[in-house]
Amino acid sequence: MNTRNQILNSAVQLFGTKGYHATSIQDICRLAGVSKGAIFHYFSNKIELLFEIHEVIIDILLDKYNNVLDHFESSPTLKLKQLVNISVELVVEYKPYIAVLFREYKNLQNDDHYFLITKAKRDQCESVVQEVIRQGVTSGEFRQDIELSIMAKLFFGVCNWTYIWLDPKGPLTPQQISDSIWQLFIGGLAAGPQNCTNHNLT
């Protein structure tokens, strides 16, 4: 592992256990086994470390999402299923990073430059999901009465928060978890008589 990644991984571990504000640069030095000079060679300050942790995850996610949108030759239904798979796989592989990303995101607001870059990339991820859902609506695979922005937020709410409870060593495999999320989500999206919105509940 190179020094930069060693510093990043140490910051992830400490931000995840102590929190961003309670972690000092010296704490990161001790855990990474490097000097302050080594840290400042790669990162100008602590908030840049937090920004780079976000960048690692968002860049991977955005690249994989765009690949599905641009190159995955399949129906919108299967594209959306692939996005679910990618989201859960990312949580499994980068769970400590994901935890820091969600718990400490608010601290990026202390730097407008980093915050706006990160927010723009998050918005791009959401736009990909919205576009796939829009394609499904256009093709007739998904219901016509859905609000794209709300469905996209629900998508991320379900997928992203798996980091809270997902146990990579638990009884369910990541694929089984992805399939369960998919079945729940597509049950509300799919067009067909089983999803009529005018149910008479009285």
Same domain for 95 and 150, yes or no, is yes
- Containing domain of residue 178, as a range? 45-195
Same domain for 183 and 86, yes or no, is yes
User: Within a domain: residue 202?
Assistant: no
User: Within a domain: residue 120?
Assistant: yes
Same domain for 179 and 166, yes or no, is yes
The count of domains in the chain is: 2
Same domain for 86 and 112, yes or no, is yes
Same domain for 16 and 87, yes or no, is no
For residue 18, the domain's CATH number is 1.10.10.60
What pLDDT is attached to residue 21?
Answer: 96
Phi, then psi, of 103 in degrees rounded to 5? -75, -30
pTM reported for the whole predicted model? 0.87
Give dist(CA 83, CA 155) in Å, integer. 10
pLDDT in tens, 106-157: 999 999 999 999 999 999 999 999 999 999 999 999 999 989 999 999 999 8
For residue 137, the domain's CATH number is 1.10.357.10
Same domain for 2 and 78, yes or no, is no
Give dist(CA 28, CA 201) in Å, integer. 58
What pLDDT is attached to residue 192?
Answer: 65
Same domain for 87 and 173, yes or no, is yes
Taking residue 101's Cβ as centre, other Cβ atoms within 10 Å add up to: 25
pLDDT in tens, 10-27: 999 999 999 999 999 999
User: Within a domain: residue 201?
Assistant: no
Average pLDDT on 75-99 reads 94
Same domain for 34 and 104, yes or no, is no
Give dist(CA 92, CA 96) in Å, integer. 9
Average pLDDT for the chain? 90
Same domain for 130 and 68, yes or no, is yes
Is 187 or 10 the better-scoring residue by pLDDT?
10
User: Within a domain: residue 200?
Assistant: no
